[in-house]
């Protein structure tokens, strides 16, 4: 699933490609991709709307449009946005939604069809997004508030902190030498500071390398990100620090990848 680095990379690419463009038409072969409102109303309403700004909140991509509307896209597990005249080939063969602009075409490729596309009145969307936790790259240590629960699950809780998912929670905890099953309430101040610092370190590096493309993710030009080569724990066979076999255990329906030697509980 695209997380903060992948979504930020996508937003940066979109700003270069479609900022100030206007929606001319919309096509889909699966109307349920549009979650709000119905596809017929969505298509009618978005026509003629100009893209005034594009930004990220957690894992959400937000297009600020003219007439006080906003387009929300959450790419979910396998979605990625592409700009250009894309054909259905290779990783991009699952194109189910096309936005025709006054210059170029923006498409959504989504193998699993989990991606969410919604059209909101801007003021209502801003209220909805307020429920998300703070942005990890924008807060200081005093604002880094973690609730009770297994630390990996806490880091992935979007209401606690926005943008971190399975990949980067594994990488942050590996860097911090902290077991994903340790309860956040049992962390020392030193451990909390380690997690805080490594959260910023890992996410900044991943943004710089344009995200992780182990599976479906591509940027708006169809290119892979490079952080996959740098990962230390996620889907690795051996620890990149001590060469001990990486363990994979279920935690809250997700798989935690960690080194049981370096990350003792």
Which one of the listed residues 2, 5, 136, 180 is annotated catalytic? 2
Residue 191 annotated as catalytic: no
Residue 56 annotated as catalytic: no
Which one of the listed residues 49, 59, 210, 231 is annotated catalytic? 59
User: Across 75-227, where does the E strand assignment appear?
Assistant: 79-83, 95-101, 105-110, 116-121
Distances from the Cα of 214 to the Cα of 77, 83, 220, 221, angstroms:
12, 21, 16, 17
Pairing of strands 34-36, 116-121: parallel
Separation between Cα atoms, residue 89 and residue 37, nearest integer Å: 30
Among residues 22, 27, 21, 63, the alpha carbon closest in space to that of 43 is found at 27
Query: How does DSSP classify residue 177?
Result: T
Cα separation of the two ends of the chain: 27
Residue 249 annotated as catalytic: no
Q: Are 96 and 76 in contact (CB under 8 A)?
A: no
Which one of the listed residues 116, 150, 182, 254 is annotated catalytic? 254
Which one of the listed residues 3, 6, 8, 175 is annotated catalytic? 3
Separation between Cα atoms, residue 35 and residue 39, nearest integer Å: 8
Separation between Cα atoms, residue 28 and residue 98, nearest integer Å: 6
Residue 59 annotated as catalytic: yes
Separation between Cα atoms, residue 83 and residue 108, nearest integer Å: 9
Active site residues: 2-3, 59, 254
């Amino acid at each position: 699933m695209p997380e903060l680095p992948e979504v930020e990379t996508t937003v940066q690419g979109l700003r270069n490609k479609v900022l100030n463009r206007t929606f001319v038409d919309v096509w889909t072969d699966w109307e349920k991709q549009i979650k709000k409102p119905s596809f017929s109303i969505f298509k009618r309403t978005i026509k003629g709307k100009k893209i005034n700004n594009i930004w990220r909140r957690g894992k959400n991509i937000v297009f600020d449009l003219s007439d006080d509307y906003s387009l929300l896209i959450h790419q979910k597990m396998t979605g990625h946005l592409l700009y250009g005249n894309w054909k259905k080939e290779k990783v991009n063969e699952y194109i189910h939604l096309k936005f025709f602009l006054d210059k170029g075409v923006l498409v959504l490729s989504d193998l699993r069809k989990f991606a969410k596309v919604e059209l909101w009145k801007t003021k209502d969307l801003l209220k909805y997004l307020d429920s998300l936790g703070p942005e990890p790259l924008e807060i200081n240590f005093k604002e880094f508030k973690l609730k009770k629960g297994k630390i990996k699950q806490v880091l992935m809780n979007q209401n606690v902190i926005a943008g971190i998912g399975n990949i980067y929670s594994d990488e942050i905890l590996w860097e911090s030498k902290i077991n994903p099953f340790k309860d956040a309430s049992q962390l020392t101040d030193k451990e909390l500071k380690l997690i805080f610092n490594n959260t910023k370190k890992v996410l900044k590096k991943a943004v710089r390398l344009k995200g992780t493309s182990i599976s479906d993710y591509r940027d708006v030009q169809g290119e892979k990100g490079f952080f996959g080569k740098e990962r230390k724990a996620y889907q690795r066979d051996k620890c990149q620090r001590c060469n001990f076999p990486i363990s994979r255990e279920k935690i809250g329906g997700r798989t935690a990848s960690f080194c049981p030697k370096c990350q003792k509980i």
